[in-house]
Amino acid sequence: MALNIQTLKTRALTALIFVAVMLFGLLFNYWSFFILFSIIHFGCWVEYQKMIGLIDPAYKNISAFHKYAIMLCGFGFMLWNVESRMQPFDIPLSEIGKWLLAIIAVVLPVKEIVLSKKDNAKVVAHSFFGFLYISICWSLMISLRNKGMIFKGNFLFLDFGYVTPMILIASIWINDTMAYIVGSLIGKTPLTKVSPKKTWEGTIGGAILAVVAVTAICYFFVSKTNIYIVVYIAAIGAVIGTLGDLLESKLKRLANVKDSGSFMPGHGGFLDRFDSLLLATPFVWLLLQLI
C-alpha cells in the first residue's frame, strides 16, 4: 500500500498537539488537570451514547433530560472527588458535586422508570453502565490526583499529586508502543478475535518492557523509595490497560464502527485514546487504598 504523505502529516500533527495538551493539563496545576479530565469525561459520554444507540436502537430515543442528566450526574461525582480545600470563590465544589449527584441519582430513575409510560429499564441500565465505565473511573482519577498534595493551613504547600497519574499514563503509553513493536517483529499468535491485530507475543513483550522502563526511570531519576509501588502501577497499566482496550474494541464491534469518534483526525475519538486508562484507573486507586 502506497504511503500517503498527507495522511501521515495529519496524524503526526494531531499526535503532537494531543501530547502537548495532555502534558499541559497533567502537569501545569491542579485545575488544569481537573479541566482536562472534565473535557475528556463529557467527550467519552458523547461517544458512548452514540455507540450504545447503534447497539440498541431504543437508546437513540432517550429524552434530552436523560441524555444530559446522566452526564451531569457523573460530573457531580467528579466534583465530589475534588480536594475539599480547593474552593474557588469560597465555594466548596465537593459539596456542589455531592448534591448534584444525589439529586440526579434520585430524579432520573424516578422519571425514566417510575413515571414513564414506557419500559425504560433497559436504557437506564445502559446509562448506569456508562456511569460505572466512564464517570466513576474519571472521578477516581481526580482522587488519585489528590494524593501527594500537602497543605499548610488553608494554602497548598507542596503538590506531587501528578506523580501517580503520570506513572500510570506513561506505563500505558509505553506498553502500547512496545506491544506494537514487539508484535510487528515476532508476533504470530493472535490474542483474541475482538482485536485480531493483537498477538500474545506483543502483549506479553509490551507489558514486560513497560514495567521495566517505567520502574527504571522512576528508580534512577525520581526516587528509590517504595519502588515496588511503581512496579505494581506499571503492571496494572500494562495488563488492565490492555483489557480496557479490548473492552472498547468489543463495544465498537457491537456498534459496527471503526472508531468511537473523530475528535483526533487519524487517531479516533476520546474512548479510542483513553480506553486503557479508563479501566486501569480504578485498579490503581484500589491498590493505593490497600497499601
pLDDT in tens, 163-189: 999 999 999 999 999 998 999 899 889
What confidence score (pLDDT) does residue 8 get? 62
Nearest in space to 150 (alpha carbons), one of 213, 66, 85, 76: 85
What Rg do the C-alpha atoms of the chain give, in angstroms?
20
Of the chain, the percentage scoring pLDDT greater than 70 comes to 96
b/e per residue 257-281 (b: at least 16 CB within 10 A): beebbebbeeebbbbbbbbbbbbbb
Q: Which three cell numbers stand for residue 288?
A: 493505593
Give residue 7's pLDDT. 63
Q: Is the pLDDT of residue 1 over 70?
A: no
Place of cell 510487528: 184
pLDDT score recorded for residue 115: 76
pTM reported for the whole predicted model:
0.92
pLDDT band, very low/low/confident/very high, at 5 (cuts 50, 70, 90): low
Q: How far apart are CA 158 and CA 153, in angstroms?
A: 12
Specify the pLDDT at position 52.
97
User: Are 209 and 174 contacting, i.e. CB atoms less than 8 angstroms apart?
Assistant: yes
By CB neighbour count within 10 A (0-12 exposed, 13-18 middle, 19+ buried), where does 199 fall? Answer: buried
On average, the pLDDT of the chain sits at: 90
261 in Cβ contact with 44 (< 8 Å): no
102 pLDDT above the threshold of 90 = yes
For 95-105, what is the mean pLDDT? 93
Mean pLDDT of 29-45: 96
Angstrom distance (rounded) from CA 156 to CA 86 = 9
Query: From CA 242, how far away is CA 251, in angstroms rounded?
Result: 15
The band of 91, judged by pLDDT with boundaries at 50, 70 and 90, is confident
